[in-house]
A and B are shown apart, each in its own frame.
Chain A
Amino acid sequence: MTMKIMVAIKRVVDYAVKIRVNPDKTGVVTQNVKMSMNPFCEIALEEALRIRESGSASEVVAVTIGPSHSVDTLRTGLAMGADRGIHVDYSASLYPLSVAKILTKLVQIENPGLLILGKQAIDDDCNQTGQMIAGLLNWPQGTFASKVVLDKEKQVATVDREVADGIETVCLNLPAVITTDLRLNQPRYATLPNIMKAKSKPIKKFTPEELNVEIKSDLEIVQVTEPPKRKAGVVVSSVDELIDKLKHEANVI
């Protein structure tokens, strides 16, 4: 049974970088700033690689949508072990629905048995793409996965989901969409020999036009600002003083 797994990865500002808002307040400064693979996408790719290594899949395809630099992130994915890559070249801002539409088209081309994504990207924290794709494809979805067990014969994926009350286990008939949460696995390092080998792995290029996807958004970012500076706390000496402050300064009672 030759099942293919498609993993969507995103190039984001590295999590350790101290970001700041750009002068026009339209976003965050990304020039000269270190970019890396979204941590949740690393976890998604790691899970796909483990499934392939266990024999339940034959190929892992890494996909990314973004400007030409995104190819670097794709190469890192190839260095981790993905077999080949797909790069959809688009330089302007992307929104989850557009990404979902593009991935949907790619799924229709590649026909994977499983589509794994990170639950959200650490730059926009949208947590929407996985769910939208499942909707567009009419596939079952297991989001916030903290454990994935694949049954090859029955073509079923059992996913433990991290939900507010605890863990919820769902059974998904393949093909399905899974989005990964933090505790699913610890991604492997890309070793030097693998980085060298990854240079020769194939990356196919597409544009949104070739995929017949029009990128437009119903959302417009109006303003991006830093959160207000936290004011220093005040130590109160009595309950009466606390009540007084809550009443007259904080205006909450």
Chain B
Amino acid sequence: MMLVFRSILSKSKATSTGLLLRATIANNSYHSFSRCYSQHNFSFSEPRAPSRAESRVPTSRSFCTSSERDSIEYDVVIVGAGPAGLSAAIRLKQMCRERNADLSVCVLEKGAEVGAHILSGNVFEPRALNELIPQWKEQEAPITTPVSSDKFWFLTKGRAISLPSPFNNKGNYVISLSQLIRWMGAKAEELGVEIYPGFAASEILFDANNKVIGIGTNDMGISKDGSKKENFQRGVEIKGRITLLAEGCRGSLSEKIMKKYNLREKGGAEHQTYALGIKEVWEIDEEKHQPGAVIHTLGWPLDHKTYGGSFLYHMKDNLVSIGLVVALNYQNPFMSPYEEFQKLKHHPAIKPILEGGTVIQYGARTLNEGGFQSIPYPVFPGGAIIGCSAGFMNVPKIKGTHTAMKSGMLAAEVTFSALNEGVDMDTYWDALRNSWIWEELRKSRNYRPAFEYGLIPGLALSGLEHYIFKGRHSFTLKHGKPDHEATNAAQLHSPIHYPKADGVLSFDVPTSLHRSNTNHEHDQPPHLRLRDPKIPEVLNLPVYAAPESRYCPARVYEYVADEHNQMKLQINAQNCLHCKACDIKDPKQNIEWTVPEGGGGPGYSVM
């Protein structure tokens, strides 16, 4: 009996063959199924009289079928069930209770479960959570491992030189953010928030005045060639009086909105810069495990032109998180962040910790490094961008969760006032600038840009910043080139020979990918779209030696010889970890990350 699951991949080691599918690019990369941007005139329901919000089923919803799609209305629609999105949802419902009002809140999440796409270091600063849910400890939040030690090493190939730790992690906890988000999701649902995992917001809905009125979810059940399958389901329109975009770093809808409304110029912001974080969670020997131990490293294996570093955090239950963060403005197109991470694990100071352990999960995600200089104007007609989609990460602290949460809470407060008192959403900008987010990010604004001058100058400036200036000067350093422009032509560098994976400490990509529990319905149009299908073979490969085949931590991009022995780009969209590195780093910005069918992507549970 031949087993061919409708969307199953073989569970065996042959995941690489199961996952590598010749995807159709060129003509089919632009969807051939019909999708309509709603251009109709919509009138909004009258503001509802405040009623006691008691039942968990919201009272304010209407079903209507307009032309092709079902349309469901809410007061607030939030895209993304992450720290920012859930904090906003929880805060909204809290305010409803406090002020005896009633707002229907819907959170859409493209992951199959809340927390499935959440990946972070994470040393958690509970500042925002203390404001949001002060009783988090009594309510059994999965925050149980306080930081017990804080080490900072400068690595050379063979040594680890201890440096004074620039971090002050007193009062912080080592957590799994995926776990925390699951807990927050449950809290949100208790308050009456409707959370729908497995549904991807793929388009923004506008009214005739170019105001955002909600989002549309993906059509499901479309075959790779664009035709409708047996189980085709039209997407739905989720309309909101206010729409909050909380998609995380380089959110696909957020990027479109920022372009459309020129939000960077409006906020006087520079471009955003990014880093790619690749992480594994290991279960190690009990004797080696020190709950709450925090280690950060700089230096090897990255060279002094490449900003980045590694982290190793001990969680509970003999689990450790280990990862490497590489700034995406690296110059050498032959560098592979994934392989550098594998090298790192062999360092004589790191290897003993991991030896004897097993990898539980693997994943990768990009993060913001632009800091203060890159914060766009976050408000657009009909909503706002919150969390890492806007970019509130404190880069020298390497923490963004607390600021993302706070940005969500502030947005919720402004949204509540906007819906119930007619306050302008633009006051969100003021709220941000008056909050501790602003103060914190302003103080730390010059650390990362200083590294444009190299590792040693950067470290020296960081030292000055940390001990003397503390951000109190008037100048603000600028970022370098945007990440995608920073890649040098391949002829300026030589290929890097990376050691082969040993299968014990280091692994090949298919093995790691298997551990991310990544899965997509394979028979769907590839969600990675090439704006110009010729560019990979005409530019990426000859000029830059195909950097996408190296920076993608999921081996989505491969160059394979076709029948005429010409190298052609093959996009294994099914492998995608939704990290967005390709959307950021492609030299001509030719790769557009769009959202695949909801429910696909990684399945993180302890990341």
Contact = CB atoms under 8 A, between A and B. Distances in A.
Interface in A210-229: none
A195 B514 contact: no
Contacts of A200: 57
Contacts of B518: 16
B538 interface: no
B3 interface: yes
Contacts of A33: 605
Interface in A14-39: 14-18, 20, 32-34, 36, 39
Contacts of A16: 8-9, 517-519, 603
Interface string B346-369: 000000000000101000000000
B392 to A, nearest CB: 28
A34 B605 contact: yes
Contacts of A183: 4
Interface in A118-164: 162, 164
B72 A196 contact: yes
B321 to A, nearest CB: 14
A192 interface: yes
B133 interface: no
B274 to A, nearest CB: 28
A187 B5 contact: no
A143 to B, nearest CB: 13
Contacts of B1: 162, 164
B6 interface: yes
A188 interface: yes
B179 A34 contact: no
A171 interface: no
Contacts of A199: 57
A192 B112 contact: no
B19 to A, nearest CB: 11
Interface size on B, as a range, is: 35 or more
Contact of A20 (B5, B11, B238, B360): B360
B112 A189 contact: no
A62 to B, nearest CB: 18
Contacts of A192: 70, 72, 196, 199, 217, 236, 238
A15 B72 contact: no
A22 to B, nearest CB: 11
A68 interface: no
A101 B606 CA distance: 38
A164 B1 CA distance: 7
B515 interface: yes
Contacts of A237: none
A183 B518 CA distance: 24
A189 B605 contact: no
B517 A34 contact: yes
Contacts of B221: 189
Would you call the interface of chain B mostly helix, strand, loop, or mixed?
A: loop
Contacts of B231: 186-189
Interface size range on A against B: 20 to 34
A86 to B, nearest CB: 22
Given A16-B9, A20-B360, A39-B8, A193 B220 contact: no
A189 B603 contact: no
A230 interface: yes
Contacts of A39: 5-6, 8
Contact of B8 (A15, A191, A195): A15
Nearest to B236: A192
Contact of B72 (A17, A32, A187, A193): A193
A189 B220 contact: yes
B8 A32 contact: no
Contact of B229 (A164, A186, A193, A230): A186
A162 B519 CA distance: 28
Contacts of B589: none
Contacts of A14: 112, 517, 603
A182 B517 contact: no
Contact of B3 (A36, A182, A230): A182
A230 B217 contact: no
Interface string B194-236: 1010010000000000000000010011000000011101001
Contact of B603 (A34, A186, A193, A230): A34
Contact of A230 (B13, B116, B230, B517): B13
Contacts of B116: 34
B63 interface: yes
Interface string A104-125: 0000000000000000000000
Interface in B220-266: 220-221, 229-231, 233, 236, 238
A18 B514 contact: yes
Contact of A34 (B13, B113, B196, B220): B113
A187 B231 CA distance: 7
Contact of B233 (A18, A191, A230): A191
Interface string B467-493: 000000000000000000000000000
Contacts of A164: 1
A22 B366 CA distance: 32
Nearest to B111: A34
Interface string B587-607: 000000000000000010110
A164 B517 CA distance: 32
B552 to A, nearest CB: 20
Interface string B495-508: 00000000000000
Interface string B65-76: 000001010000
A18 B507 CA distance: 16
Contacts of B5: 15, 39, 182
A186 B70 CA distance: 23
Nearest to A43: B6
Given A188-B233, A193-B72, A17 B603 contact: yes
Contacts of B8: 15-16, 39
B104 to A, nearest CB: 11
B297 to A, nearest CB: 28
B230 A15 contact: no
B63 to A, nearest CB: 6
A43 to B, nearest CB: 8
Contacts of B11: 15
A187 B6 contact: yes
Interface string A171-196: 00000000000110111110111011
A193 B63 contact: yes
A193 B514 contact: no
A60 to B, nearest CB: 17
B14 to A, nearest CB: 11
B46 to A, nearest CB: 22
Nearest to B521: A189
B362 to A, nearest CB: 9
Contacts of B603: 14, 16-17, 34
Given A15-B5, A16-B603, A18-B514, A193 B233 contact: no
Given A192-B199, A193-B63, A200-B57, 17 more contacts: A14-B112, A14-B603, A15-B8, A15-B11, A16-B603, A18-B517, A20-B358, A20-B360, A32-B179, A34-B112, A34-B605, A39-B6, A185-B230, A186-B230, A188-B233, A193-B236, A199-B57
What 6 A-B pairs come out closest when comparing CB atoms?
A16-B519, A32-B605, A189-B220, A189-B233, A188-B231, A186-B230
10 contacts: A17-B603, A182-B4, A186-B6, A186-B229, A188-B231, A188-B233, A189-B220, A189-B233, A191-B233, A193-B72
